[in-house]
Structures are given as structure tokens and as C-alpha cells.
Structure 1
């Protein structure tokens, strides 16, 4: 079940600009082993290494999905937000694509309380209870609901901590990476040339600024999750 199986090819990655890193002045020296060249003042990542780690990550999520494990995908920067939501929905994963509430995982009890409030409000709205309230109160509850929807919409069916967390941008999502390491939750992280490759369990060196690059990496991971899930259902 190696690279050929996940259909990871270097040409496709080059077309998506996966190899373009940051400017050479904005790099983390720990990324040196993953960088193959400098071009016009930017670092170029070694796509053979990227392919190997991506394929390893696909194996990991496939195995986990085939055992019924739960995934959370996190990516809150503008470029990644829509991609994260659509990838997660396709693979029935939980997701966070708006600014995270700090301590979302480490203070799971608080998160659960918020989720319960969110579910209650949604039920009340569906049952038409808002319509029976004074205008001002109804407007306030609607505002609350849309705020909760933005922050918690992607995790509304989450009943416990995830088994694996996939992170789109290490710099942006540093707090979630820290929470996962405190809780011992395995992480798969997209890392650009300005990141620290030692922070996640599997780091995939890739351009985390280009939409095409983020989409390609997420698509491969999500396909592996979907395949794993279907074998879980067959054998379940």
C-alpha cells in the first residue's frame, strides 16, 4: 500500500506548487533536510520527501479509519477555511475552520457545555420557539446561535476527543498542536519552510499558502480516510 496506491505523483505536486516554500530569509533551519534548492530568493522543498511523508500519513489515516477512529481537521486561515470544510464533510470528519476557541481540546468539559448549549438553541429554533419571544430576545438568541455555528458548527457531532488531528498550517494553529501534544493525540501537519518539523507526529513538507497545494494534500488524506471507512463498514 505504498505511493502508487495513493496515487501520489511528483508531476501533480509540482503543478499544484507544493514545492514552493517561503523566502530564504523566513526559514526555520530545522527544515534544512527537506529543502532541495533556492530559487529566486525562495526555498524549494524536496518533493520526493514530501511524497514519502504524505504516503505515510495516508497509510496512517487509512488504518485509523478502517478501525472506526475519529478525525478532526483544523485550518482557520482564509485560504484554507473552505477547503477544510469541504474535505472534512466529504470524509465525515469533524473540523474547525474559524478562529479556534483556546483550550477547545484541553478543556473538553467546557467545550462540551458549549456544544450542548449550541444543540439546545438549534432545537429551539427548529421548533419555532424564537418566534414566540419578544423581538429583542429573539434577535439576541439568533446572534448567539450564529456565533456558535461559526465556532462549533464543524464539531457539532463530536462526542469526545478526536483520535487523530490533521493541521493545515503549523504557525497559525500552534495552540491546537500544543493541546494535542499535551493530550497525546497524534497529529499530521502540513509544514512550510518556516516551520518546525519536529512538533507533529507526521510532518508533510508542503506549501501552506497556495490553495492548490492545500487542496492536493487534503484530497489525498481524505481519499485515504474514505477508503478506510468503507473497509470498516464492510468488515464492521
Structure 2
């Protein structure tokens, strides 16, 4: 991370904003091009809702992408349970069975709610905290999925395809970067809709 740090004051590293802006521009271009071809993204929840993308907002389940067949089976189970709940079939079951299925539905909603409509492996994954989401990054590397990571000074920028050096503890900087990426996704999608 040394090339991306401009100074150190009172034990706090300050990232080089010129480099951050360069990599953010590069990431926006990649995201725009990918969205303009109608590809899928995996991102953080509040940004994903605006960009109509898939998201993971709780713990990344190991094997979510590398073991896609199992994840797909769990997604089918999740959709079936949601349909049973909407139609009222769960209420007609004995209390014990209904309670067990409702608990299972709640757990599936917690971990798979953001990817419930995902039909295949995403084309780009945007990771906010590379240090915390190392499992997700390793899965993307294994599958060859391009990744855009917001990297702090305790991260390895070489692991991601595009690393945007930033302070991942500062919510305002994360929000700014995600807003730029979401805008690029929305613009790319609108150009895809106009020119399929």
C-alpha cells in the first residue's frame, strides 16, 4: 500500500487522493462498460438497491460463488418458502412444522435475501472492506471474476483487479465512491436499454 499513501501524521496514514481519483475513474469506466452490455453486479445493499444489483449485507457465506450449485439449491428453497408464506400454506401446517419453516425462511432471508433473484455468477463484484471480506475476494480470484475493492492501508491492492485506495472506516468517503460507481452502473444500464 506504500505507493498509495501520501503522508503519515500522528500515526494515521493519509491516502493519496490523486491516485484514488485515478482508480475511481478507471473503476467507473469498467462498471459503465460492463453495465452497458447488460451484465450483473454484486455490491453493498444500500447502493445495490439504487442500482438494481444483487447484494450481500451480512456475512459472506463461504462457497457462495465457488459452490454455486449448492447456493442455487438454497435459493430455490428460499423462493419456494416465500411462495408458501405468501399463499398462506405455512399457516395450514402444524404449529411446530410452520415455526421450523419460518425460522428457516428468516435465516435464508438474512443471508440470501440480496441475491434471491440471481440466476448465475455475477460479472463484477464490488467489495467494500477487503480485509473483512477476504473470503469473497478469494472466491472471485478463484473464479476469475473481476473485483473492484476499496482498500485501506492494511490491505493488499494487488489482490483486486481495481483497488481504490481509501479509508474504509470513513463512511462519507465510502458513500462518495459508491455513489460514483452506482451512477456509472445506472448510466451504463440506460445505454444498454436504449441500444441492446
* TM-score of the superposed pair, with normalisation by structure 2: 0.98
Separation (CA, whole Å) in 2 of partners of 1:177 and 1:64: 19
* Runs of 4+ in structure 1 over 6 Å off: none
- Is 1:137 aligned to residue 107 of structure 2? no
1:7 matched to which residue of 2? none
Residues 152-231 of structure 1 aligned to structure 2 (within 5 Å) = 152-231=112-191
1:44: Cα distance to partner?
0.4
1:137: Cα distance to partner?
1.4
Residues 1-236 of structure 1 aligned to structure 2 (within 5 Å) = 31-73=1-43, 84-236=44-196
* TM-score of the superposed pair, with normalisation by structure 1: 0.82
Specify the SS of the correspondent of 1:54: helix
What are the Cα deviations for residues 204-224 of structure 1, in whole angstroms up to 9, with x where unaligned?
Answer: 000111211211111110110
Preserved CA contact (<8 Å) 2:20 2:164: yes
Separation (CA, whole Å) in 1 of partners of 2:58 and 2:165: 23
Separation (CA, whole Å) in 1 of partners of 2:101 and 2:32: 41
Preserved CA contact (<8 Å) 2:56 2:115: yes
Preserved CA contact (<8 Å) 2:128 2:150: yes
Number of residues paired by the alignment?
A: 196
Separation (CA, whole Å) in 2 of partners of 1:100 and 1:45: 27
1:136: Cα distance to partner?
1.7
Separation (CA, whole Å) in 2 of partners of 1:117 and 1:213: 38
Separation (CA, whole Å) in 2 of partners of 1:70 and 1:33: 32
Separation (CA, whole Å) in 2 of partners of 1:94 and 1:206: 23
Preserved CA contact (<8 Å) 2:152 2:165: yes
Which runs of 5 or more structure 2 residues have no equivalent in the other structure? none
Superposition RMSD on alpha carbons, in Å? 0.7
